[in-house]
């Protein structure tokens, strides 16, 4: 807007600004067919501007400034009022430019470059313009706008600095996020989401370059090097990880193929116990072999499981047939258990031992029972055997001569100690020694309690 206005003014000056040489025709008024229609001039404002000029008899027009009077042009053949009006109009046009610039300084969309260019142009135009008016005042007004322009420039610089700082912070955050991804443990990272996140970070970087505030080149280059290094590190680690994974998968596939072949070879075995243990060992080795690719792992596991299922299905079928045969044996052993459990609690040890031996012989002769019932019936029989054995041990302890002799000897020693303590207690009581009375009484009570226990043990030993 300002540049268009200035161009129109310069065009008008070219038409009416030069002096007319003597002897040539002199127009009575300036003519500019291409110029836009001029705004109406306030009479009072024009009259005030005219007070700063004068016109000689030959049509020379002068303006008065602080430095003195200066010739601004010549308009022969016209009245002094007409000549003066032309140059007043030029002054008013210059004043309008300054006022327009003053107004636009308050607009937020005026660029600093445009402010500087307009200031330079107006300064040049007001240096020695061919115009009549208060040029010193107009120059002073323009000088006053320089401080406003400086404030605008400073504010704009601060805004740009803040924007650059924010841009640097945003770029730094992009870089730090990329570095965090690149530094993640390759064994724990999720490569696909991480790669997508890095791609989005790169798009953010490009958007910041295209539409964000410009940052200084050294900072941008430094951040880009970090960002590029993070991306390169991520790509290198990803290639390394998947190369190792492929190698491990190939090794696991080879190991599991061997396990599958062994499992398939064992699937027709009828050595049920040994082969079941072999399958448990194969399963342990399968888990230790690691993972192949998902497709290979699934296919190999299906073969392994089919071989294992075939073996155990055959074993279960054999066991079911055997269990049917052993059902009669189970009924016999359960009847034996009923007889055995009547021996508990043991009241006649000799009779219980004799009966138990007979029952044990019948138990062995009864044969095997279904596999699912083995632990149950064996456990019940062991409980009866344990009860009889415990009863036998109790009788032996009570009839052991050594045990009884030790108990009687201990009792005699305690009785002797009690007699001595009773004597000490009587002496302490006679002397009125309270402390010794308490000590003798405590020791006497303890020995009497021990004696009671020893006598009870000796009584048990005698039966």
* pLDDT, tens digit only, all 463 positions of the chain: 334 334 434 444 443 343 433 333 333 333 333 333 444 557 889 999 999 999 998 899 999 999 999 999 998 888 989 989 999 999 999 999 999 998 888 776 678 888 889 999 999 999 999 999 999 999 999 999 998 888 888 887 888 888 888 989 999 999 999 999 989 988 888 989 999 999 999 999 999 888 888 888 999 999 999 989 999 998 998 888 888 777 877 888 888 888 888 888 888 888 888 888 988 898 898 888 778 778 888 998 998 899 889 888 988 887 777 777 788 898 898 999 899 988 888 888 889 899 999 999 999 998 888 888 889 889 998 998 998 898 888 888 776 666 666 766 777 887 888 888 888 888 888 888 888 888 888 887 887 877 777 777 666 655 5
Q: How far apart are CA 51 and CA 127, in angstroms?
A: 20
Q: How far apart are CA 320 and CA 322, in angstroms?
A: 5
Based on the fold, state whether residues 369 and 341 are members of the same structural domain. Answer: yes
Q: How far apart are CA 21 and CA 122, in angstroms?
A: 29
Based on the fold, state whether residues 425 and 457 are members of the same structural domain. Answer: yes
End-of-domain residue from the set 219, 243, 267? 243
Q: What is the pLDDT of residue 209?
A: 86
Assigned domain for 276 exists: no
Based on the fold, state whether residues 454 and 333 are members of the same structural domain. Answer: no
End-of-domain residue from the set 243, 258, 278? 243
Based on the fold, state whether residues 211 and 124 are members of the same structural domain. Answer: no
Count of domains observed in the chain = 4
Based on the fold, state whether residues 208 and 136 are members of the same structural domain. Answer: no
Assigned domain for 429 exists: yes
Based on the fold, state whether residues 134 and 38 are members of the same structural domain. Answer: yes
End-of-domain residue from the set 399, 425, 440? 399
Based on the fold, state whether residues 379 and 440 are members of the same structural domain. Answer: no
Q: What is the pLDDT of residue 458?
A: 67
Assigned domain for 106 exists: yes
200-236 as b/e: b if 16+ CB within 10 A: ebeebbeebeeebbebeeeebeebeebbeebbeebee
Assigned domain for 431 exists: yes
For the stretch 174-178, contacts whose Cβ atoms lie closer than 8 Å and that sit 24 or more positions apart, written own/partner, are: 174/201, 174/204, 174/205, 174/208, 174/227, 175/223, 175/226, 175/227, 175/230, 177/201, 178/226, 178/227, 178/230, 178/231, 178/234
Assigned domain for 294 exists: no
Contact between residue 230 and residue 178 where contact means Cβ atoms under 8 Å apart: yes
Based on the fold, state whether residues 132 and 85 are members of the same structural domain. Answer: yes
What is the sign of the dihedral through the CA atoms of 272, 276, 277 and 278? positive
Assigned domain for 12 exists: yes
Based on the fold, state whether residues 438 and 334 are members of the same structural domain. Answer: no
Helices 374-399 and 434-462 meet at what angle, rounded to 10? 110
Based on the fold, state whether residues 178 and 223 are members of the same structural domain. Answer: yes
Assigned domain for 261 exists: no
Can you give the pTM of this predicted structure?
Answer: 0.40
Tokens of 69: 């009077």
Based on the fold, state whether residues 178 and 135 are members of the same structural domain. Answer: no
Based on the fold, state whether residues 221 and 126 are members of the same structural domain. Answer: no
Assigned domain for 259 exists: no
Q: How far apart are CA 56 and CA 71, in angstroms?
A: 10
What is the separation, in whole angstroms, between the first and last Cα of the chain? 130
Domain around 237: 166-243
């Amino acid at each position: 807007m300002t540049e268009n206005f200035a161009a129109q003014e310069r065009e008008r000056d070219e038409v009416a600004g030069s002096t007319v040489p003597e002897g040539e025709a002199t127009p009575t008024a300036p003519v500019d067919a291409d110029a836009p229609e001029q705004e109406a001039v306030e009479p009072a404002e024009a009259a005030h501007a005219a007070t700063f000029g004068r016109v000689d008899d030959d049509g020379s027009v002068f303006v008065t400034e602080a430095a003195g009077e200066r010739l601004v042009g010549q308009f022969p053949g016209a009245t002094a009022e007409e000549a003066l009006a032309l140059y007043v109009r030029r002054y008013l046009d210059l004043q309008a430019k300054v006022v327009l610039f003053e107004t636009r300084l308050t607009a937020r969309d005026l660029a600093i470059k445009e402010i500087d260019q307009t200031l330079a142009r107006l300064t040049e135009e007001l240096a020695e313009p061919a115009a009549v008016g208060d040029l010193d005042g107009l120059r002073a007004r323009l000088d006053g706008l320089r401080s406003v322009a400086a404030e605008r420039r400073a504010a704009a610089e601060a805004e740009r600095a803040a924007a650059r700082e924010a841009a640097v912070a945003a770029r730094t955050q992009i870089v730090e996020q990329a570095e965090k991804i690149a530094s993640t443990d390759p064994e724990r990272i999720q490569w696909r989401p991480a790669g997508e996140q890095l791609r989005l970070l790169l798009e953010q970087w490009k958007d910041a370059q295209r539409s964000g505030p410009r940052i200084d080149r050294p900072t941008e280059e430094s951040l880009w090097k970090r960002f590029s290094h993070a991306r390169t590190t991520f790509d290198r680690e990803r290639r390394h990880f998947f190369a190792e994974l492929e190698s491990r998968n190939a090794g696991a596939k080879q190991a599991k193929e061997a396990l599958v072949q062994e499992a398939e070879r064992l699937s027709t075995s009828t050595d049920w116990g040994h082969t079941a243990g072999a399958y448990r060992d194969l399963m342990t080795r399968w888990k230790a072999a690691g993972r192949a690719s998902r497709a290979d792992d699934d296919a190999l596991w299906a073969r392994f499981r089919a071989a294992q299922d075939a073996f155990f299905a055959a074993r279960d079928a054999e066991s079911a047939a055997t269990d049917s045969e052993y059902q009669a044996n189970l009924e016999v052993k359960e009847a034996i258990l009923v007889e055995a459990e009547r021996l508990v609690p043991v009241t006649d040890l000799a009779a219980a031992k004799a009966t138990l031996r007979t029952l044990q012989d019948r138990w062995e002769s009864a044969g095997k029972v279904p596999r699912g019932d083995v632990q149950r019936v064996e456990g019940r029989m062991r409980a009866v055997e344990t009860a009889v054995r415990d009863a036998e041990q109790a009788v032996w302890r009570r009839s052991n001569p050594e045990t009884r002799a030790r108990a009687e000897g201990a009792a005699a020693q305690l009785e002797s100690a009690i007699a001595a303590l009773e004597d000490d207690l009587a002496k302490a009581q006679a002397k009125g020694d309270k402390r010794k009375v308490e000590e003798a009484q405590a020791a006497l009570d303890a020995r009497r309690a021990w004696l009671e226990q020893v006598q009870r043990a000796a009584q048990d030993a005698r039966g």
